[in-house]
Amino acid sequence: MLDPRGWINDMLLNFSYDLSAVRTLQELHLVMERDLKKLFHFDEFLIITFAPPRNSDSILLTSLGPRPELLDWIRTNMTNETVWQQTANTTAPVIINVEDIDFHDAPPCLDPADRNNGGEIMLKILSENNDFKYGLILISYKKNVFDPLDRHITQCISRHLATTVSNILANAELERKEKHRALLLSLSHDIAAVRNKDDLTKAIEKVVSQLSSISRFVIRGINEDKKTMSLFLYDKHVKTAIEELGHYFVLDAVYPIADGISDLVLAGNATIVFDLQEWIDKGNAPSYFHFWRSMDVEKCVATPLQTATQKLGIFWVDSDEPDIEMMDSMCAQISIAMSNIMANEQLIQYKQLLESENEHLQEQIKSIYNFSDIIGTSAPMKRVYQLMSLVAHSNATVLIQGETGTGKELIARGIHESSPRKNKLMVKVNCAALPLTLIESELFGYERGAFTGAFERRIGKFELAHHGTLFLDEIGELPLEVQVKLLRVLQEREFERLGSKTGDYDE
């Protein structure tokens, strides 16, 4: 006759041997299903984290499969302090009859009111070196199934099982960190070649595509006024959402930094997780929270982008389970690239401005005037001189009238040379010579992508004459619709670059 203890010892030895070869949670699941059920009967099993705080990820391993109602019930009831306190007070497994304990909202398979068979649960804390980290839950859909021998077997396997789980998670953590090191090294290599926003977007997308915790991202940059923020770049998924939802307003939207969110992020150096619905329910959420929520995003993670000398913006991602360490490491590199891009864009603007100024200076050299040639001592000319001196030191817009050839440009140049703006450009525009289709782009400039063929940003005559003088000759030849826009510039002191938002211009 076989000795049951000898048979059990052999099975425990085989179980321990199989556990020693386990490297992943999937392999552990196989061993639990294959070997443990040979030792005694149970219907389902779970291994959960025991160290607080417990959250929705407390279940490490389960045989329950797609049983959300049972998993939710276990998360709510089997990880509460009362249940585990009575388990922690003993080294032996604890058996709980469902009908003897007030477990509310138990699913039908465990609720004695709905099923005559009831059910019972065996709980065992898996301790390693007296460090209580994990818990083993064995479920039977019938009561009075677990006997003292089952408890003895569970006690025997618990320490080895705890060591196996610890090793699996430690190895997974090492693999995760090694993967992140490789991704950061790849990001560093790609960022070294970044020259513009498109390059940076592709470099970030390459990393994000390999991180399961992040699906979408947006970078908002701090504007020159240091009081507002605008969209700097965004990934292809956000672009698709904008197009599908028709929320094109976010592309040109300007948000104040002092909105209770951005200023909170920028004030510190840490990554912050925001529950969008919670903030929206408070009634003080910024509009971009509503935009994220419209994309069915529940939580957003914000990390400040900054260098040693300046704040640059905020890196926003859609993530319920952010890896804070990875986020911080990524943003340190993204900040450097963003700073370089902004500096490069500024250099390009300065270069374009210098080229335009040089072009106009060359034109002025070709048509330089000798102002001593303005002659005349008649009463009308003295009146003209008086008016020139009156307006030269003001910021008023001046209308010069006269027939062709009477010297309107000469008078305009005389006003410019007598004004505090004499060391800056005087930009001349012959409105009659401008093609109808190019008038607005010549006067106001345009952004990259504003229309077909707009491959780069170009400043208009108004910006070119910044702090200088703009002379619009033959202004009456402009179409009426352009004259209306020009009137807005003269009255409101602002203009709209094609493809851009409204911007101020010099008084």
Tell me whether residue 38 is exposed, middle or buried, using C-beta atoms within 10 angstroms of its C-beta: 0 to 12, 13 to 18, 19 or more.
exposed
**Residue 235 DSSP one-character state:** -
Find how far residue 491's CA is from the centre of its chain: 39
User: Tokens for 504?
Assistant: 């101020």
For the chain, what is the total number of helices (H) and then of strands (E)? 18, 17
pTM for this entry? 0.57
Instruction: Report whether the peptide linkage leading into residue 53 is cis, meaning its omega lies within 30 degrees of zero.
Output: yes
Fold of 192-342: Beta-Lactamase (3.30.450)
Intervals of the chain under pLDDT 70? 1-6, 50-57, 66-68, 70-71, 74-89, 98-118, 127-132, 362-374, 501-507
pLDDT, position 53: 43
Superfamily classification of domain 4-172: GAF domain (3.30.450.40)
pLDDT, position 362: 66
Q: Which amino acid is at 285?
A: A
User: Tokens for 290?
Assistant: 């509503």
| All residues at 6 or more sequence positions from 349 whose CB lies less than 8 Å from its CB, including other chains | 457, 459
Domain pair 4-172 / 192-342, same fold: yes
User: Tokens for 381?
Assistant: 């000319």
Over residues 355-391, the pLDDT tens digits come to 877 777 766 554 444 445 567 777 888 788 788 888 8
**Domain ranges in the chain?**
4-172, 192-342, 345-504
Q: What is the DSSP string of 37-49?
A: HHHS--SEEEEEE
pLDDT, position 368: 47
Strands 272-275 and 299-306: antiparallel
CATH 3.40.50.300, applies to 345-504:
yes
**Residue 59 DSSP one-character state:** E
Strands 494-496 and 469-473: unpaired
Contact 122, 43 (CB under 8 A): no
Task: Compute the distance between CA of residue 335 and CA of residue 296 in angstroms, rounded to an integer.
Answer: 28
